[in-house]
Amino acid sequence: MSNDKEKEKEKKELDSENIFVDGLSVKDRLQEKYGEQALRTLLKIAYYISKVGLPLEDACTITSVEKEKLEILMETDPLLRKVIEVKQLEYKKDLLSAISRKIREGDDKLALQFLEMKYPQEFSKKRKKLEDRDFMSEVIDFIQENEDIVPLVKLSSGKGVRPEDKEKYGKNLIQSVKDLLG
């Protein structure tokens, strides 16, 4: 019975689904251009993208629409392309709104996870671990792992070393770094 309730809820949401682009309803324009049946299918695709969060490919599969054909239509019809893009953004907006609401309600754990994900340079734990490590040991590890024997940059000018300059500047890079470190 819960399956019937879910189907009824989905039907109501589909019936109330509207398609807005730039603040204007485009349902009538799409119906005029593609017909009632195609509009109904587009509304289902829009619903599955914006309310359920399905990717376009899955929304097409569930509505028995060939994704390739829809993509061709989207290339030739900017309005249709815009509708799909708006529906994808609506889902993203709804998720971000729900997360923001939970954060404002005081969910500190969610707030920290969101900060780490949204602003990794500032809040990521992984980034901080790398910054804590000694820079020179990172350089030495990199050189030893790659066993490069030719410097990539001339120390005197700061310009890159060309392959034909190897004879002039071919001092062993690992030995050079060890000499610098003493």
Q: Structurally, how many domains does the chain consist of?
A: 2
**What is the identity of the amino acid at 169?**
Y
Residue ending a domain, among 64, 85, 118, is 118
pLDDT digits (tens, 9 = 90+) for 126-135: 655 555 556 6
Task: Clarify whether residues 146 and 108 are in a common domain.
Answer: no
Q: How confident is the model at residue 169 (pLDDT cuts 50, 70, 90)?
A: very low
Residue 125 covered by a domain: no
**pTM here?**
0.56
Q: 């682009």: which residue's tokens? A: 21
> Using one digit for the tens of pLDDT, what is the confidence trace for 46-75?
999 999 999 999 999 999 999 999 999 999
Task: Assess whether 81 and 14 both reside in one domain.
Answer: yes
Last residue of a domain, one of 118, 141, 158: 118
* Residue 55 and residue 6 share a domain: yes
- The answer to whether position 127 is within a domain reads no
Structural domain that includes position 147: 133-181
Do residues 97 and 154 both lie within one domain?
Answer: no
Q: Give yes or no: residues 101 and 172 share one domain.
A: no
